[in-house]
């Protein structure tokens, strides 16, 4: 019995030793995996960054579009960047242009004792004709948003706080020229927004003036008008052998000062904006290019009012904005100049500057105003159609008109222009169109946008038109009638776009 007891105790001890050794060899139990959690604080698409109380949403889109009568991302031929295309020649004008774009965005938000801290960034790559060839792997990187919002402040690159409403983007695909809206490219700014309650808010913003600067032109430096591929204004001219640079606005000294008041309600929203814009000149031109003083500093200004209203129960909306400016043309339109040829002997032209002066005179401000409106109707949850339109007027006062019309017309007219040529730099233009979009599945947009643009030209009447690229000169005589007159152009865009968490 004693022997049996000793054997059992020894076996138990050995088993305990073996078990302890095996337990020591086992790995430590792993911590539970922390799966991604949905963040419902800021809407659809947000999730928590693992291990933090910060939420992030990844977004973006892939866009493929074909453009007719437009290019560089929907800009109408003949307008500013697409000015050379407005010659309508076989070697200088594309009948069709393409754009392929891929975009990524990051929206990061976190709750703090000061409210929501938000950081937003959007950038991408694109291949766009006529600027790019479309061949190989050539692509241009770009970014249009990069801002921080904290305790009421917005700093970085965002949409201008002057912008109240536009039909660009929401109602159409083609680039809107009848507004100075910055929604497509953004604006560098420092802004503060105060919430007053009941949907009422007010903002003050200091913004980079370069985006909307149309220049302050010294007409004694050269001709106000020119037909060429680079600029509507004669740069690089020489007078008495001295270089002449134009326009002559100085660098960034004072930001555009913006004020905005807005109300958001169940019926929609409305707002009013004001802006102060520096248009001072650098120096008076002298033949020997010697610093000879400068005109007195001057400021332009702009005011805008707009609203959007919800209509019915399907999601229909109607909106408008009206803008008036003096010395701040870029707040009313984003097209600095136009050239549209109808045929070999007829062209429409127009130029806009914020202000101009001559000799040792004072700066004359250019006036401009616009009106834009649109309506969008949902036929169903998959089909929608919008109708939109805008009108812009650019007006030079009488003194500015006299200054322009006493200067040589280098680059536009031959030296001996016809006596009955009407010199009037004022001009206007309108754009009207309609877009229909189909959403066969959520976040896939397939649509067609058609727009007509009509330029009521700056100058009108018979003219001797100089050669322009491959377009030959046109001399007005008994055999041939060369004229500057109103012109119009049709444009269209067909687009496919796949969005993800926009």
| Domain edges within the chain | 34-500
pTM here?
A: 0.87
Q: In CATH, which of 1.10.3720.10, 3.30.450.40, 2.40.160.10, 1.10.3470.10 is domain 34-500?
A: 2.40.160.10
Is the confidence at residue 411, as pLDDT, over 50? Answer: yes
Rounded Cα–Cα distance for residues 500 and 502 (Å): 6
Rounded Cα–Cα distance for residues 90 and 104 (Å): 37
pLDDT above 70 covers what percent of the chain?
81
Q: State the average pLDDT for the chain.
A: 85
Q: What pLDDT, on the 0 to 100 scale, is given for residue 42?
A: 93
Q: Cβ distance 446 to 438 under 8 Å?
A: yes
Q: Cβ distance 220 to 359 under 8 Å?
A: yes
Peptide bond preceding 247 in cis form (omega within 30 of 0): yes
Least confident interval from 51-65, 208-222, 376-390:
208-222
Burial string for 1-27 (b: 16+ CB within 10 Å, else e) reads eeeeeeeeeeeeeeeeeeeeeeeeeee
Query: How much of the chain is helix, strand and coil, in % rounded to 5?
Result: 10, 50, 40
User: Which phi and psi (to 5°) does residue 247 adopt?
Assistant: -70, 175
Q: Cβ distance 70 to 96 under 8 Å?
A: no
pLDDT band at 345 (very low <50, low <70, confident <90, very high): confident
Q: Which of 74-83, 217-226, 388-397 has the highest mean pLDDT?
A: 388-397
Is the confidence at residue 138, as pLDDT, over 90? Answer: no
Q: What pLDDT, on the 0 to 100 scale, is given for residue 24?
A: 47
pLDDT single digits (tens) 244-282: 544 455 678 899 999 999 999 999 999 999 999 999 887
Is the confidence at residue 410, as pLDDT, over 50? Answer: yes
pLDDT single digits (tens) 24-37: 455 555 555 556 79
pLDDT single digits (tens) 143-154: 999 999 999 999
Q: What pLDDT, on the 0 to 100 scale, is given for residue 220?
A: 74
Q: What pLDDT, on the 0 to 100 scale, is given for residue 286?
A: 61
Q: What pLDDT, on the 0 to 100 scale, is given for residue 39?
A: 94
Specify the residue for token string 């939109």: 388
């Amino acid at each position: 019995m004693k022997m049996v007891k000793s054997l059992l105790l020894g076996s138990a001890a050995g088993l305990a030793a073996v078990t302890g050794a095996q337990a020591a060899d086992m790995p430590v139990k792993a911590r539970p995996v922390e799966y991604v959690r949905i963040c419902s604080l800021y809407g659809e698409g947000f999730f928590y960054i693992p291990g933090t109380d910060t939420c992030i949403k990844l977004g973006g889109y892939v866009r493929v579009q074909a453009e007719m009568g437009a290019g560089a991302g929907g800009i109408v031929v003949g307008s500013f960047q697409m000015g050379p295309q407005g010659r309508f020649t076989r070697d200088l004008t594309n009948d069709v242009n393409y754009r392929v774009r891929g975009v990524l965005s990051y929206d990061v938000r976190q709750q703090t004792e000061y409210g929501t801290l938000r950081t937003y960034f959007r950038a991408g790559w694109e291949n766009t004709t006529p600027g790019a060839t479309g061949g190989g792997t050539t692509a241009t990187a770009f970014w249009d948003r990069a801002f921080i919002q904290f305790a009421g402040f917005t700093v970085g690159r965002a949409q201008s706080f002057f912008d109240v409403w536009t039909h660009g983007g929401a109602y159409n695909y083609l680039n809107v020229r009848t507004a100075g809206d910055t929604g497509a490219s953004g604006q560098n700014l420092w802004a503060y927004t105060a919430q007053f309650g009941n949907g009422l808010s007010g903002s003050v913003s200091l913004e980079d003036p370069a985006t909307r600067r149309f220049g302050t032109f010294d007409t004694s430096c050269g001709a106000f008008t020119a037909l060429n591929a680079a600029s509507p204004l004669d740069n690089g001219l020489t007078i008495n052998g001295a270089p002449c640079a134009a326009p002559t606005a100085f660098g960034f000294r004072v930001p555009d000062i913006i004020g905005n008041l807005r109300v958001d309600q169940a019926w929609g929203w409305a707002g009013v904006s004001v802006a102060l814009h520096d248009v001072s000149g650098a120096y008076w031109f002298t033949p020997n290019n010697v610093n000879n003083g400068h005109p007195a500093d001057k400021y332009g200004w702009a005011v805008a009012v707009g609203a959007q209203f919800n209509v019915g129960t399907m999601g229909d909306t109607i909106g408008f904005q009206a803008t008036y400016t003096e010395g701040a043309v870029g707040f009313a339109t984003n097209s600095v100049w136009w050239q549209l040829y109808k045929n070999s002997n007829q062209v429409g032209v127009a130029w806009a500057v914020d202000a101009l002066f001559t000799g040792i005179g004072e700066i004359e401000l250019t006036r401009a105003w616009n009106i834009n409106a649109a309506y969008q109707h949902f036929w169903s949850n998959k089909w929608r159609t919008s109708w939109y339109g805008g009108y812009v007027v650019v007006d030079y006062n009488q003194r500015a008109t006299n200054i322009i019309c006493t200067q040589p017309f280098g680059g536009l007219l031959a030296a001996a222009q016809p006596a009955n040529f009407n010199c009037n730099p004022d001009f206007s233009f309108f754009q009207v169109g309609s877009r229909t979009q189909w959403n066969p599945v959520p976040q896939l947009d397939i649509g067609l946008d058609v727009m007509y643009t009509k330029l009521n030209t700056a100058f009108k009447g018979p003219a001797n038109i100089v050669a322009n690229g491959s377009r030959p000169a046109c001399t007005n005589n008994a055999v041939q009638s060369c004229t500057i007159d109103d012109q119009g152009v049709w444009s269209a865009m067909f687009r496919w776009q796949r969005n993800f968490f926009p």
